[in-house]
Amino acid sequence: MRTMWRRACGLTVAPLVMASAVACGGGSDQAAEGTTLRVIVNITPNLTEKYWNDLFARYEKAHPGVTVKLELTGTIAADAKLRQDLAAGDPPDVVQQITPNADTASLFADLTDESWTAKTPLADQYAVDGKRYMVGVGEQIQSLVFYNKAAFEKAGLDASKIRTMDDLTAAMGKLKSSGYKPLQTAGQWVTGGQFSMMADAGVLTADPRWTAKRNDGKVSFADSGYLDYLKDYKGWIDKGYLDKSALGVTYADGQTAFLNGKSAMYVMGSFFVPAADAAKKSDDIGVFSMPTDGAYPSGQFGNISNPYVVVNKSPHKAEAIDFVKWATTDPAAIKSQLASDGNMRTGFSYPMSSLGTSVQKILDKAPSVIVKSGANQPVAGFSDELNKQVQSLYSGASPKAVAEGLDKWWNSQG
Amino acid sequence: MVELAGLTEAQRRGRNRARLRETAVSLGMMGPAVLLYTVMTVVPVVVAVYLSLTDWDGFSTAAFIGLDNYQHLFDDPSSTDAWYVTALIAVAGTVLMVGLGLVYALALKAKSRTNSFFRAVAYFPHVISALILGYLWAAILGTNGAINNTLAKFGIDPVGFLFDEQFALVSLIAVIVWAGFGFNVVLFVAALQTVPAELLEAAAIDGASKRQINLRVVIPMIAPVVTVATVLNLVGLIRAYDIVVSLTGGGPAGSTQTFTYLILARSFEGTKVGYATAQAVFLMVVSAVLALLVTALRNRQDQAATGS
């Protein structure tokens, strides 16, 4: 019996001892010499793990004693990773690609008093209650139509004359007659994403506060310019300008199909340029600003690129702010980040392809860059819902039903 | 009592001490398991239930909002659509996985090398990650996949395995069934080995055909295992997520978006953690109720059959 008792005690205590050993055995950043900054980033086809490590190595070289550690997010987004780390009581120092809002702003360091932040792109557009929590490296613009120069030549089209949605529809007709698939789309997020790039340019140029008004319930999709764009889109499907089978194609494969000349036009953001450059197709591709039913050129639907926030609970807040300052103000760091993702920033240039230069010219001529942030930020999950609804147009849903579906969903989100 | 009355005080004390020690040993033995179960299961469930009653966004302080999240479950169109898809996958998938598994197991119940090979073939997909299976089938069924590329060479339009709303759901169910029915085959083959040979022999002597023997003798004998398989499949399919992510990504037009996909890919990825937790708690309750329901129905049927 005594032996049994000892065994039972052993069994009970062993896991606790092991747990304690594991808990005590972990390493510590503080134990190492100097400071280790943990930075959460999103890995993309352009901004690879190697890219980030190279960038951080440059910072470490210029700042002895500081180590910048890349925090991979795995299959989750940056905000989900941040949430996990905060819940685990292990806050990172810096997060890239997260947009603070009124509810979350207190989690991040208020950088308003840092004078350098005023000169960073779109700093005030992304401010929350007038305070700057996020600073970025450049701008991305997304209301762009890339086109295959050979296809346009064969169809006898002049891209500079496509200014309205009717012009665009007519161009698609000519391209189809010339044997081309007029417009490349894809499944995943691309369907809704392209619709947004297209419709936002027109609707939000006409009324930059439209999304804020939708949040207040003062406007609806069914009674707005979005309905006209949905009708145009549905018309393209019915005329065979858009191919339903593309919904089974990934973003990467859709892009490759366009680069390989299988389709004539591709609505995409400026971040397409590095992909075209890498495929050595930049000179074969042209670009024009998204046609609209209003003013031309319209404002560009865009966003801040490579935005950084410093986590308030960071154990190395001052060092983290120094790092973000370097990433967003150091000329070499800026140029490297701009070039890697095809982004732009006033006063900074880097060796660009002919396509990149054309995009820069469109940005220079754009009357505004329309940003969906602050009060103009749509309800969380909207882009997924928009994608779902736009894809339903391919299965016979009417534009009105889609617009009403978007309103119903938005209203249901409280 | 008589015996106890005859014990001396010292003996009684000794016996009490022995009992106490025995109880302590039992508790000590159970301790680690109870501790682990509490920490790993009970506590997270309690925390989840609490969070489901809040508006927590994952960052800021959570505010108690009562049953608002549960109410929202029924007026959120995404949620109702996802439940429809989930129910379809769970019911069709379970029926097909159990049905096919049973037919396959009955066909391969005899011991032979060929049968062992085919059983292994059926079980093989089960050992591969569902995520990988999804990607593999996407490479076969996608617009640019192996099948459609072959068809294109003959000038045939692509088949909408993954880009047509109805077809995509059928493709998803087919892949799920293909990936999962092998597990049922193993369960059923094992159960079939336990059916007494003399029972089958008696039925055959009584003039029952092979079909009658299977329907009237074999299947009722392995009914408890069929119930277990049904419950496991049903509960598993209600939580279908990994194949959805890799095969269809919930598309096209949300036609393959399951409830678990909705929770993980949309609610948790956004900032609606309180709502996502309510969805998860609701899913857990539905799974438990379904499992209990199927088991109770099966038990009632068994009792009716045995007259007990």
Asked whether residue B212 falls in the same domain as residue B243, the answer is yes
**Helical H segments across A132-224, by residue range:** 149-155, 165-177, 190-206, 210-215
- CB atoms B163 and A106 under 8 Å: no
Q: Phi, psi at residue A369, to the nearest 5°?
A: -110, 115
Is the confidence at residue B181, as pLDDT, over 60?
Answer: yes
Is the confidence at residue B187, as pLDDT, over 70?
Answer: yes
Q: Looking at the complex, does the CB of residue A283 fall below 8 Å from at least one CB of chain B?
A: no
Mean pLDDT of B278-305: 86
Cβ of A167: how many Cβ atoms within 10 Å? 14
Query: What 3-state DSSP class applies to A163?
Result: coil
| Predicted pLDDT of residue A18 | 43
Q: pLDDT of A94-117, one tens digit each? A: 999 888 888 788 899 999 999 999
- A89 against A211, higher pLDDT: A211
| Predicted pLDDT of residue B3 | 52
Residue B56 lies in a domain: no
Asked whether residue B188 falls in the same domain as residue B283, the answer is yes
Is the confidence at residue B128, as pLDDT, over 60?
Answer: yes
Residue B59 lies in a domain: no
Chain B residues lying within 8 Å of A83, measured CB to CB: 58-59, 273
- CB atoms A381 and B72 under 8 Å: no
- CB atoms B72 and A412 under 8 Å: yes
Q: pLDDT of A243-287, one tens digit each? A: 999 999 999 899 999 999 999 999 999 999 999 999 999 999 999
Q: pLDDT of A73-94, one tens digit each? A: 876 778 888 888 888 889 999 9
| Predicted pLDDT of residue B102 | 94
Mean pLDDT of A322-344: 93
Asked whether residue B150 falls in the same domain as residue B27, the answer is no
Asked whether residue B292 falls in the same domain as residue B153, the answer is yes
Topology agreement, domain A35-135+307-342 and domain A141-303+359-412? yes
User: Whole domain around residue B243: which residue ranges?
Assistant: 72-306
Is the confidence at residue A381, as pLDDT, over 90?
Answer: no
Are the C-beta atoms of A248 and B248 separated by less than 8 Å? no
Is the confidence at residue A4, as pLDDT, over 80?
Answer: no
Whole-number Å distance between alpha carbons of B216 and B210: 10
| Predicted pLDDT of residue B60 | 75
- CB atoms B161 and A248 under 8 Å: yes
Q: What is the mean pLDDT of chain B?
A: 90
The reply to whether omega before B252 is within 30° of 0 (cis) is: yes
Residue B61 lies in a domain: no
Cβ of B61: how many Cβ atoms within 10 Å? 9
- CB atoms A248 and B76 under 8 Å: no
Is the confidence at residue B5, as pLDDT, over 80?
Answer: no
What is the share, in percent, of chain A residues with pLDDT greater than 90? Answer: 69
Q: Give the pLDDT band (50/70/90) at residue B270.
A: low
- B59 against A122, higher pLDDT: A122
Mean pLDDT of A385-401: 95
Q: Give the pLDDT band (50/70/90) at residue B162.
A: very high
Residue B83 lies in a domain: yes
Q: pLDDT of B44-83, one tens digit each? A: 999 999 999 999 887 777 899 999 999 999 888 889 999 9
| Predicted pLDDT of residue B305 | 65
Asked whether residue B91 falls in the same domain as residue B10, the answer is no
The top-level CATH class assigned to A141-303+359-412 is: alpha beta
Residue B57 lies in a domain: no
Mean pLDDT of B267-285: 86
| Predicted pLDDT of residue A19 | 42
Are the C-beta atoms of A270 and A342 separated by less than 8 Å? yes
Domain boundaries defined on chain A: 35-135+307-342, 141-303+359-412
Q: Angle of helix A399-412 relative to helix B77-107, nearest 10 degrees?
A: 100
Q: Which pTM was predicted?
A: 0.82
Q: Looking at the complex, does the CB of residue A361 fall below 8 Å from at least one CB of chain B?
A: no
Asked whether residue B135 falls in the same domain as residue B77, the answer is yes
Q: Phi, psi at residue A189, to the nearest 5°?
A: -90, -10
| Predicted pLDDT of residue B58 | 79
Task: Give A378 to chain B, closest Cα distance, Å.
Answer: 12
Nearest residue on chain B to A406, alpha-carbon basis = B77
Residue B116 lies in a domain: yes
Q: Phi, psi at residue A162, to the nearest 5°?
A: -90, 100
Residue B201 lies in a domain: yes
Asked whether residue B176 falls in the same domain as residue B29, the answer is no
Q: Give the pLDDT band (50/70/90) at residue B4.
A: low
| Predicted pLDDT of residue B1 | 46
Asked whether residue B79 falls in the same domain as residue B43, the answer is no
Residue B136 lies in a domain: yes
Query: What CATH number does the domain containing B283 carry?
Result: 1.10.3720.10
**Helical H segments across A93-247, by residue range:** 149-155, 165-177, 190-206, 210-215, 225-238
Both tokens of A274, joined, read 């590095």
What's the Cα-to-Cα distance from B171 to each of A40, A397, B133, rounded to whole Å?
A: 37, 22, 13
Is the confidence at residue B264, as pLDDT, over 70?
Answer: yes
Q: What's the number of domains chain B is made of? A: 2
Chain-centroid distance, C-alpha A179? 33
Is the confidence at residue B280, as pLDDT, over 60?
Answer: yes
Mean pLDDT of A215-232: 96
3-class DSSP string for chain B: CHHHHCCCHHHHHHHHHHHHHHHHHHHHHHHHHHHHHHHHHHHHHHHHHHHCCECCCCCCCCCECCCHHHHHHHHCHHHHHHHHHHHHHHHHHHHHHHHHHHHHHHHCCCCCHHHHHHHHHHHHHHHCCHHHHHHHHHHHHCCCCHHHHHHHHCCCCCCCCCCCHHHHHHHHHHHHHHHHHHHHHHHHHHHHCCCCHHHHHHHHHCCCCHHHHHHHHHHHHCHHHHHHHHHHHHHHHHCCCHHHHHHCCCCCCCCCCCHHHHHHHHHCCCCCHHHHHHHHHHHHHHHHHHHHHHHHHHHHHHHHHHCC
Identity of the residue in A76, A79, A395 whose CB atom sits nearest the CB atom of B253: A395
Mean pLDDT of B168-197: 94
Asked whether residue B189 falls in the same domain as residue B245, the answer is yes
Asked whether residue B97 falls in the same domain as residue B14, the answer is no
Q: What is the mean pLDDT of chain A?
A: 89
- Select the residue from A1, A3, A12 to test the B interface by mutation, using most B Cβ atoms within 10 A: A12
Q: Give the pLDDT band (50/70/90) at residue B11.
A: confident
The top-level CATH class assigned to A35-135+307-342 is: alpha beta
Q: Looking at the complex, does the CB of residue A74 fall below 8 Å from at least one CB of chain B?
A: no
Minimal CA–CA distance to A122: which of A328, A310, A324, A288?
Answer: A328
| Predicted pLDDT of residue A14 | 47
- CB atoms B249 and A245 under 8 Å: no
Q: Give the pLDDT band (50/70/90) at residue A29.
A: very low
Nearest residue on chain B to A248, alpha-carbon basis = B163
